[in-house]
Amino acid sequence: MPAVDGRHGMPEGDYDYDEAAAIIRHDRPLNTGEIGCYLSHIKALRMFLAGEAAYAVVLEDDIDIPSGTFAN
């Protein structure tokens, strides 16, 4: 699934980023890349919930899966 690219401005839509809460938790507001990552995870979860799959796995783009992991 294509990720949400927060570097080019935040998309219109329903998300609940709370800058005050981010500052309390992280001592700073989140940058647009971090917000884009958050929105990408929300997008993936919504896709899963709208589908018929029993399970979902959300992986980052820098995951390194060892060869043979899915071998039969």
User: What 8-state DSSP symbol labels residue 8?
Assistant: G
**Would you write out the chain's pLDDT as a tens digit for each of its 72 residues?**
888 877 766 666 666 778 899 999 999 998 888 888 888 888 899 999 999 999 998 888 888 988 888 876
Residue 23 is predicted with a pLDDT of 96
Decide: 20 and 46 in contact? Cβ < 8 Å: no
Those residues with Cβ within 8 angstroms of residue 42's Cβ, 6 or more apart along the chain or in another chain? 15
> Please, what's the b/e burial string for 2-14 (b: 16 or more CB within 10 A of its CB; e: otherwise)?
eebebeeeeeeee
Pick from 29, 40, 30, 35: nearest CA to 3: 40
At 52 the pLDDT is: 97
Which position has the token pair 């919504």?
Answer: 46
User: How do the domains of the chain map onto residue ranges?
Assistant: 1-72
pTM of the model: 0.69
- Position 44 scores a pLDDT of 92
